[in-house]
Amino acid sequence: MGKKTLLITGSAGFIGRHLIRSLQDSKTYQILEFDLTDGDVATHRFETDRIDHVIHLAGKTYVPDSWTDPYAFYRTNFLGTVNILNLCRRHHASLTYISAYVYGVPDYLPVDEKHPLKAANPYMHSKIEAESACRFYSENFEIPVTVIRPFNIYGPGQNEHFLIPKIINQVCSDSDVIRVFSLGPKRDYIYIDDLIDALVKSVNINTRYQVINIGSGTSYSVRDIIDRCQNIAGTNKTVLEEHIDRKNEIPDVRADVQKAMELLGWSPATDIETGLAKIINYADV
């Protein structure tokens, strides 16, 4: 049996780069990459002889931008996913689709996969609609689809728009002050390597349609993250809270990852202190 042909969309993004790196010496998969420089994921034809599985990472992710240009998010996140589903249909390929932030303000904690989906912004709505397309194609065209719902991902090389790199940049800078909008919101942070492990494991799922949470099972406030980063870096900078609440802010969220443990044989391996230290040490290089 030869290698499986694995297409990774969004291969130059934060998750994609880490995934490609983890698979570069694989004896199991032949890797095909697709990113922005290769075309528009919503219309590209993907002329290739064989695809066995797609890990679909391509998408627009910075939530504030979804309010100013919602169409771009629907085009990439929804129509792009439908195009990938059609590709899987043509090749009789299975799909791993990465979704996120679809639960809104939780009705209960921890959040399991049965929790109602709530669209608090255009980004969330585009991902919910893409998941709906995944379910429809899986049920009507017999495409094995696994939807991976990671909670707040972090790790080396993440865009500075996101909270943890924004905090670490300030901790490691020459400034004496760390500024944040709010110290209160709590999030479940999952280290990039743990997410990559789950994505690779998902390739072997062949059931019709599955949704799986990926998180640490613990939530940390912005203050918690700042304190841990300062402790690791050996700093004691003044923290200034600007008391700015984002639209539809979520006060607390924590993942139930029991299904991932049972179905994937997966569990989070990187605690928050270890993950933050890896980023801070990476930033110091």
Whole-number pLDDT of residue 34: 98
Q: Average pLDDT in the 111-136 region?
A: 96
Task: State residue 144's pLDDT score.
Answer: 97
Q: Which residue has the higher pLDDT, 285 or 173?
A: 173
- Show the 3-state SS of the chain: CCCEEEEEECCCCHHHHHHHHHHCCCCCEEEEEECHHHCCCCCCCCCCCCCCEEEECCCCCCHHHHHHCHHHHHHHHHHHHHHHHHHHHHHCCEEEEECCCCCCCCCCCCECCCCCCCCCCHHHHHHHHHHHHHHHHHHHHCCCEEEEEECEEECCCCCCCCHHHHHHHHHCCCCCEEEECCCCCEECEEEHHHHHHHHHHHCCCCCCEEEEEECCCCCEEHHHHHHHHHHHHCCCCEEEECCCCCCCCCCCCCECCHHHHHHHCCCCCCCHHHHHHHHHHHHHC
pLDDT one-digit tens code per residue, 28-85: 999 999 999 999 999 999 999 999 999 999 999 888 899 999 999 999 999 999 999 9
Q: What is the pLDDT of residues 225-250, one digit of tens each?
A: 999 999 999 999 999 999 887 777 88
Q: For the segment 61-73, what is each residue's pLDDT rounded down to a tens digit?
A: 888 899 999 999 9
160-194 pLDDT, tens digit per residue, is: 989 999 999 999 999 999 999 999 999 999 999 99
Judge whether residue 283 has pLDDT over 60. no
Looking at every residue in the chain, the average pLDDT score rounds to 95
- pLDDT at residue number 1: 55
Q: Residue ranges of the domains in the chain?
A: 4-157+192-215+254-269
CATH of region 4-157+192-215+254-269: 3.40.50.720
pTM for the predicted model, two decimal places: 0.95
In the prediction, which pLDDT does 285 show? 35
Q: Out of 78-87, 89-98, 110-119, 242-251, which region has the weakest mean confidence (pLDDT)?
A: 242-251
Q: What was the pLDDT predicted at 253? A: 97
